[in-house]
Structure 1
C-alpha cells in the first residue's frame, strides 16, 4: 500500500507542540476525530489501550501509534513532527520527534496491515528521518513521506 492512500497532505503537521506522550495522544485523537467525524474519546481510549500493551515508539526518535476504530471504512494517517522531543517509552529510549498516527477499520485485512508496514519502512531509513527533521514545511514533509523509493 502506498502512503498517499491513507495520508493526505492536509493531515501532515510540522512543529506540533506536546510535552508528554498522553498529551500527544490526546491531541492526535482530537485532530483525527475532527477529520473522521468519529468520537475523540474512543480514539484516545483505543490509543492508550494499545500503548498499554507496549510502546509504539519504534526507535530512532520515531513512533507509530495505531489502533482499530469502529466507524471508519479505510486506513487513516496523520503525521506530525514535534517542536521538541518527548519521552515515548520507545524501545531504544530515544525521545520522539516524528510521529505517524494510523487508525484502521475493525475489519482486519492484508491491505490494512500493509499501511502500517509501509509507514514503518519509510521511517526506518536514517536518511529519510534526517530529511523529515530538516523539512521546512508540512508540504515538504508530505513530499518526503510519499516519494517513491
Structure 2
C-alpha cells in the first residue's frame, strides 16, 4: 500500500503528526513515504506495521488528514467556535460569567487551546492567516466533544 513520493510531498503529514502530538511517529511515516492522501486507505494492519497500534491514534491521524484534505471546502461556524471556546454552542440568556479572553503564546507548533472554565483561548503568535485557519479548524474538529476536566 505504501507509495513513493518526494520529501516535499510528505512534509504535510509530518506537520500534522507534529500538531496532533504524535511526533514519535514522524520518522516512520517519512521513511515509508506516507502522504496525507494515503492515510485514508491505510488498514489496521498498515498502521500496525507503522507502529501505530492504538485504534484511537489511528482514528486521530485519519481524522486530521481528512480535515486537512477538506480544508478548502469546510468552514467553521461561530457556534462551533463558541462550543470549542466555552463548552456552550450558544450564548446563555444571561451571558457568560466573564468576558471571553484570548491569550497569545510563543510556541508556533501548538494548536489553539481552549480553557472552558475561565473562557480563555490560547493562540500562537506569528502565523499566517492560512496557518491560523488550518490549526483552528483542526483543533475544533479533532478536539472531540466538550469534556469536564
Same-fold status (TM-score > 0.5): no
Q: TM-score, normalised by structure 1?
A: 0.29
- Which of 1 and 2 has greater Rg? 2
More strand by share: 1
Q: TM-score, normalised by structure 2?
A: 0.29
